[in-house]
Every structure is written in structure tokens, then in C-alpha cells.
Amino acid sequence: MRMNSIERVARFMQEKGLTLVTAESCTAGLISATLADIPGAGSLLDCAFVVYSVDAKMRCLGVPQSTLASHNLTSEAVARDMALGAARKSPANVAVSNTGVTDATDDRIPSGTQCYAWVFKRGQADSNPVVYTETKAFSGDRNAIRRASAEHALLGILEHYHRHHPA
């Protein structure tokens, strides 16, 4: 039987001893829920922050007002600060964040634009974790974009782990 992509991520995380904390805006918990669909995911997930509002991003994750003032909410800078904030608040050794738009209201940011950050900690007190960021565009309706975005966030764990730990 061929494993689907999320099962592959879960197996990889188990093999590498990875645990996950998510910081989700546009996906509203779908990244963690997608992983939770896999049996045994309880050992892989620490917690998930769903921070839709600007205030929640600052209050729950410590996203600096200066980042929010300097960058659009749909930006790699905001995704980076969200993931770093989640990583500080969790013992998990991987943090993934997502922020984006499914239905654009600003002509400068197309519908389907999604920004991510992946943080890899080398230990509990890692003050200098490795961070990767990326912006990707998806098409489809609101829920199709959210599903594709959640899957991309999880698959990014594989891709960026290998960049951080070359074979």
C-alpha cells in the first residue's frame, strides 16, 4: 500500500523524533488538524495557535508591532515572527506558520497568496534556530486554497529538514 504524502510526513517525523507546534492564520488550525488525521499523531503534535486577528498575533505569539507596521499581514516577515513566537512557547522542535489570503481585498496581494515559515530548533533553549520562509500561490476556492496550504506547510517539514540536515 502506498502512503499518502501526509502519512509520509508523519512517519518521517516519528523517525526523526520531531514534534510540531503550529501558528496558523489563514489555515485556522487546518495544518495541525491534517496531521492529526494520521493515527499516532498525538506523539507528533504539541499544540496549535490559531491567530486570525492582528491582536492575537501580538498577544499569543509576541509578533512585534514593528513587524506588523512594516510588512503586510500576508508576508514572510509576519510568518517568520509567528513561527518564532510559537517555537518560544512550545517544547516542540519544529514550528510551522502560515498567513495569507484566500479572497484578496487588496489589489497588491493576489487571492491564494500564502506565506510560511518553518523553524527547526536544535534543543530546548535554542536561541538561534534555523528558519526558512516561503511565499506560494494556490488557486481554487477558499477551502481548496486552505487545504493545499496546510498540505504544503506539512510537506515543507520534509523539504526544509533535508536542507538543514543534508544526507
| Cross-strand bridge partners of residue 48 | 22
* Domains of the chain in sequence order: 5-164 (3.90.950.20)
| Cross-strand bridge partners of residue 47 | 21
Note the pLDDT of residue 163: 80
- Residue 61: pLDDT over 70: yes
Provide mean pLDDT across the span 115-135: 89
Q: Tell me the pLDDT band of 3, cut-offs 50, 70 and 90.
A: low
- Residue 42: pLDDT over 60: yes
Which of 16-20, 50-54, 102-106 is least confident? 102-106
- Residue 68: pLDDT over 80: yes
Provide mean pLDDT across the span 139-154: 96
* Length of the chain measured in residues: 167
Note the pLDDT of residue 100: 94
Q: Tell me the pLDDT band of 2, cut-offs 50, 70 and 90.
A: very low
Predicted model pTM: 0.93
Mapping DSSP onto H, E and C, the string for the chain reads: CCCCHHHHHHHHHHHHCCCEEEEECCCCCHHHHHHHCCCCHHHCEEEEEECCCHHHHHHHHCCCHHHHHHCCCCCHHHHHHHHHHHHHHCCCCEEEEEEECCCCCCCCCCCCEEEEEEEECCCCCCCCCEEEEEEEECCCCHHHHHHHHHHHHHHHHHHHHHHHCCC
Note the pLDDT of residue 1: 34
- Residue 152: pLDDT over 60: yes
Note the pLDDT of residue 126: 67
